[in-house]
Amino acid sequence: MSEVHIHEVGLRDGLQMEREVVPTERKLLWLRRLMASGVGTIQAGSFVHPGKVPQMADTDRLFAALSSGPGRPPGVTLSALVLNEKGLERALASGVDLICAGVSASETHSMKNTGMGIAEATDRIIGVARRAVAEGRRVQLSVQSAFGCGYEGRVPPARVLAIAGRYLEAGMRNVSLADTAGHATPGQVEDLFGALRALDGGLELACHFHNTYGMGLANAYAALRAGVTSFESSVAGMGGCPFTKIAGGNVCTEDLIHMFRRMGMCGAVDIRALIAVAADVAEFFGREMPGTVYRTGIIGEPEVTAA
């Protein structure tokens, strides 16, 4: 099996659905524990309008605290989501390592999420990405609602590939396909990532699955079979897009790593540290979270190699 990279998005995609705003100090505690766990990339927040997503109002402060606080473990990348030029300006000023941005392949979801149709959103996001690259930042571009939309149903693969093709024309080679509505099936995942790889065999492929209909881990395994090496997931299985019809949590980080460890990967990640964060998240919100292994425990300690 190929080496895999975990991109933890719980502090962004996970929290954006929560009504109870998490205090900045509690977020920093979780972020520092996640960084110490051995996960390669941590998404600390998004630079969006605080009126639309109040949970993200302190993203600038989080990055400032992380840059001035205890040292970051070697090899940890901090990422953030931006939706437009203003968000990029804030991300650049905050010293974000990896700028994440994307375009929805659903016209309805695109309008609800950004106030723009697909064509306009694609032009603007490519402009944002080019500016970020010119400023020396790494960029990952995603196609959201790539496998279906709660409002529109099936999303044509040709539309997804057309957006990805625009990214490639702009010189962007780190591309994620996001199952925002949780509609994907393993067969769809293998087919669409296969078609994406056919466009350019040198792409860095990433995936982002939601577990709305219980298919998250199955789809992650299908993505692995299709050659995807970067997996976005959320501690405790938190999350969901507030602008989709039925919001479901992300693939759970500790569940995903538990699966990979049983397959001989992710040996460098401290799964017990992640389980401890998940338990703290559950305690903070006062309810059982969607993740599984933080409740059931892990199965032994198989022989693994660091990935």
Is 3 in contact with 37 (CB distance < 8 Å)? Answer: no
How many domains does the chain fold into? 1
Contact partners, residue 39, CB within 8 Å, separation at least 6: 6, 7, 8, 76, 253, 269, 274
Q: Which residues of 54-72 are buried (b: 16+ CB within 10 A; e: fewer)?
A: ebbebbbebbebbeeeeeb
Residue 302 lies in a domain: no
Q: Name the residue type at position 238.
A: M
Mean pLDDT calculated for residue range 206-234: 96
- Residue of 70 and 154 predicted with greater confidence: 154
- Using pLDDT thresholds of 50, 70 and 90, give the confidence band for residue 242: low
- Using pLDDT thresholds of 50, 70 and 90, give the confidence band for residue 1: very low
Closest CA to 159 of 187, 210, 122, 131: 122
Pairing of strands 41-47, 5-8: parallel
- Residue 307 CA to residue 303 CA, distance in Å, equals 13
- Residue 158 CA to residue 161 CA, distance in Å, equals 5
Residue 303, pLDDT > 50, answer: no
Contact partners, residue 160, CB within 8 Å, separation at least 6: 105, 143, 146, 177, 192, 196
Q: Where are the alpha helices (DSSP H) in the chain?
A: 24-36, 59-68, 85-94, 107-114, 118-134, 157-169, 186-199, 216-225, 253-262, 271-285, 293-296
Residue 74, pLDDT > 90, answer: no
Query: What per-residue confidence (pLDDT) applies to 302?
Result: 47
Is 14 in contact with 50 (CB distance < 8 Å)? Answer: no
Query: What per-residue confidence (pLDDT) applies to 92?
Result: 97
- Using pLDDT thresholds of 50, 70 and 90, give the confidence band for residue 113: confident
Residue 301 lies in a domain: no
Closest CA to 208 of 142, 139, 151: 142
Residue 304 lies in a domain: no
User: Which structural domain range is residue 178 located in?
Assistant: 5-296
Q: Is 149 a known active-site residue? A: no
Cross-strand partners of 60: none
Residue 277 lies in a domain: yes
Residue 153 lies in a domain: yes
Query: What per-residue confidence (pLDDT) applies to 107?
Result: 87
CATH number at residue 50: 3.20.20.70
Q: Which of 149, 241, 252, 266 is catalytic?
A: 241
Answering whether pTM is above 0.75, one says yes
- Using pLDDT thresholds of 50, 70 and 90, give the confidence band for residue 114: confident
**pLDDT (tens digit, 9 = 90+) per residue, 92-102?**
999 999 999 99
Residue 46, pLDDT > 60, answer: yes
- Residue 265 CA to residue 38 CA, distance in Å, equals 13
Residue 56 lies in a domain: yes
Largest CA-CA distance found in the chain, in angstroms, rounded: 50
Residue 37 lies in a domain: yes
Measuring CA to CA, how many Å separate 4 from each of 15, 90, 97, 176? 24, 30, 19, 14
Residue 264 lies in a domain: yes
Mean pLDDT calculated for residue range 192-211: 95
Query: What per-residue confidence (pLDDT) applies to 2?
Result: 58
Written as six digits, the tokens of 282 are 């559950």
Is 106 in contact with 127 (CB distance < 8 Å)? Answer: no
